[in-house]
Chains A and B, each alone.
Chain A
Amino acid sequence: MMATKAGGTGRFTQDEKRRDSDHVSFLKHRGFRWLWVALALCGTAILGYLMIDQQPRPNGGSWYGYTLGTIGFGLIVWLSLLGVRKRRITTGQWSLKAWTSAHVYLGLSLIVIGTLHTGFQIGWNVHTLAYVLMLLVIITGIYGVIAYATLPASLSANRKEMTRAQMIEALTAIDRQLESAAQPLERTEADLVINALGQDVFSGGALARLTGRYPGCATACALGGMGRQSEAEQRVVALLEKRREQLAQIRQQLRIRALLEIWLFIHIPLTIALIAALVAHVISVFFYW
């Protein structure tokens, strides 16, 4: 306490500030600046919707509806530019963190802007398609934020100080031992080992990765079919169990990574689809004015 008071105050707090700003999450960036901006935007939009008399009823075609639509369209285009921005390494006011923070909070505010723009008129048409795509993009985005906030810790915990290359290397080492250990085995058991060794470590589809269930796992199959009588068999079983454990670690790694990445496979294509639907929405509205 004395130290902070005695002279060091300026330097210490400055350093602390710098460290904070380097390590603070994009969600808390600058004391939730963009959260407040987004809340203000939503509040203003809701207030305007309630206060302004829109004749004959609120929808996208009133002047307020056009205003909300234009804001929404501009926001969507700007939000989608994050993909361009993140590929350009710059410094300064518009840091990528600030941009990402704004991306998240302004993206969330689109729920309000877009919904008010619809005037709560929903149907089976290109207009509602654009709205639904927007909501899906936002929902996947929310999932993405949650995934990024929670999953990296478990990813790190699962690695147990091993790199991905080491995990593969460990499996290869076990495989080499399995191959020599399996030499005394009979044909049927040898085939089981061949299958286990032949199966690609990354076999299984996206669904298997996301769920962590591999019903076609040849190692599990080999363990099930292997006898336990002879010493050679016991040794192979022991090695297969090691192989299963190593596979489990890799697969857990794959699962967490898949959970971390899956949302982008929806978020990005749907964003592009949303932009296409928005173009169709705007053109069709004025084509059939």
Chain B
Amino acid sequence: MAFLIRTIDFTAAGREIIRDRVVEQAGLTIGRAAENDIHLPDLAVEQRHVRIDTRPDGTLAVSAVGTLGFGLDGRTVTEGTIEPRTGGEIALGAARLAVARESDGTISVTIRQVVADEGKGDVLRGFSLASKLPSKRSVSWIFAGAIMLLLLMVPVASHLLRTPVKNDPKGETPGQVVMDAAWSTGDLSLRHHSLEDNCESCHVAAFESVQDETCISCHEGTGDHARAGRLAAGMPSLSTGDALQWRIAQSLGKEGPLGCVSCHTEHEGEVRQQPASEAFCSDCHSDLDTRLTDTRLADAHDFGKAHPQFRPAYYASFGAAKPVRAAPGSTPVEKSGLKFPHDVHMDAKGGAARMAVSLPDYGSPLECKDCHSLTPDKISFTEVKMEDACESCHSLVSGRTAAGGFSKLRHGDVKDLAEDLARIGSGPRATPASNRTRPGQFARGGAYAADFGRPVRSFIDLSNALAPGGICTECHLPATRDGRRDLMAVNLPDRFLTTGFFSHEAHKKEECTDCHAADTSKAATDLLIPDLKSCRDCHLGASAVKTKKIVPSSCAMCHAYHVPAGQWSPEAAKDDPHYRPLPVAGETKVAAKLSRAKP
């Protein structure tokens, strides 16, 4: 077997020197010692380091002579095989011995010295993923910087640099703060939805909670539930956690638990703000008397279990200036000043019914709605006007007019009545059927013409009309004022239940008489306001189980917080404000007019 040993060296100038020699033997020895076939003067090489032997199958066996291994194709081994056709590379110190088979069958061993790779550390760095990805630090800076800039600095700067404008209750002014939509914790409620892009309309100053003053700037006329001191005293004590939170929040300028925003929480989604829960009311009202010992309000917490009896407002004495509220559990006797037996009018077979059947405007027995009509809010009823509701039967016609119609007595003021009655006596006489007229100065328009009325008219004078048994006293109570005959003023409150509201619209499937005992009431002194028990037939507290008949009813079904007699409704939104204010006590229609007429 022949080995071609080719040594490649470089001169100092870099010129390549190639020396070839051929060795005819079965194996080769490699080492530092001069006796080796291949002598490598390198301290890293052993004296006798490696030997190469040919195997019968033509492959070369490479084995370490001592214990120190050698590099074979980059791997450190102590023995290995080289397939001469493919070749192999032996590394010993700085020498690289490339073993291959030449075309003439000899095995060539080419020896080169390699320069120690100084950049090896850099090559190994390539194993790290960091060589392929942007550095963690730069990515961190970019992310954090973008977040700080866009989501913090831009909104803060544009908030601080804006020109504050006055709030517009329609909410159509666009906001000036940029990028603060990213701060919103949720959509605003339906009514506030137009303010979605105008955060600063409510969040006026930096680091200041939403102030009541800001709410009131649009929600003018919102009533207080009670005076602030009373509210605070009536509240149950807060839990330790809540108390601590409020103490910290208030020390930082947040308005206390009685501020608007502590109940009207926003950013809960684009929904109608939910009515207050029963617990919201009962927290204070279930045992209000233990904290507000002087309160006249009875405790309440569940309509079905603990709710005081209704106390409707009514006039307790004739001609009283103000209505009073019924004492709990009493049977009120209403002194409205009217005589009006509901049963007579509602008896389907009675005289009133017969009369109504005969009249084209009615055509059937009287019904409640013939006299009582709902107000637009479907809560109250409009004032019953004598001319509209009663006059079809209780006629005010006093005679014929020249034009062929009827003259009527004016109703409502005794003075007007007196004038109209006086005119009946001096009205023009009917023209005789023939064409004859009185002669000379006795003719109509003459100096001596007189209107001679029929004797019967002289009986219908004011005195008779107002006297007991007179025409006015069919419905009114006779009275005397300043020694002259008069009638008792009619007093009816506009609203019987003043601290809650009852939607008649919601109960239109019911008959009126299911709740109001009008068909059996014999006198106007009966107050036909139903009691608590009749409501409880269907309405129980919020925790009641809903059935076909039972309606679980929270406080908010009948009571509003800010104005007890009011009710917020989306329909009412068109004519703001939301709340219909409570009618001022005493300013009831008929009584008020009469009392103002008095000197």
Contacts and interface: CB of A to CB of B under 8 A. Distances in A.
B218 interface: no
Interface residues of B, number: 66
A171 B126 CA distance: 15
B120 A173 contact: no
A129 B151 contact: yes
A75 B159 CA distance: 31
Contact of B254 (A242, A270, A271, A289): A289
A196 interface: no
Interface string B63-94: 00000000101111000000101111101000
A276 B73 contact: no
Nearest to B159: A287
A167 B74 contact: yes
B124 interface: yes
Task: Please indicate which of the listed interface residues A123, A180, A271, A272 has the most CB atoms of chain B within 10 Å of its own CB.
Answer: A272
Nearest to B132: A206
Interface stretch (B136-144, B559-567, B586-594): B136-144
A63 B241 contact: yes
Interface string B524-541: 000000000000000000
A127 B152 CA distance: 12
A209 B131 CA distance: 11
Contact of A272 (B130, B144, B181, B203): B144
A165 interface: yes
Nearest to A208: B132
B210 interface: yes
Given A181-B87, A206-B132, A261-B128, A165 B152 contact: no
Interface residues of A, number: 73
B265 interface: yes
Q: Which of B87, B98, B156 has the most CB of A within 10 A?
A: B87
A235 interface: yes
Interface of A: 52-53, 56-57, 59-60, 62-64, 66-67, 121, 123-127, 129, 162, 164-174, 176-177, 180-181, 200-202, 205-206, 209, 231, 234-235, 238-239, 242, 246, 253-254, 257-258, 261-262, 264-265, 268-273, 275-277, 279-280, 283-289
Given A63-B242, A176-B98, 18 more contacts: A52-B241, A125-B181, A166-B74, A167-B74, A168-B74, A170-B74, A177-B87, A200-B126, A238-B83, A246-B74, A268-B140, A269-B140, A271-B140, A273-B140, A273-B143, A280-B151, A285-B183, A287-B207
29 contacts: A56-B263, A63-B242, A66-B245, A121-B186, A123-B184, A125-B185, A166-B76, A170-B75, A173-B91, A177-B98, A180-B100, A181-B87, A202-B127, A231-B85, A231-B103, A235-B85, A239-B86, A258-B129, A262-B129, A265-B139, A273-B147, A276-B148, A280-B148, A283-B152, A284-B152, A284-B155, A285-B183, A288-B180, A288-B183
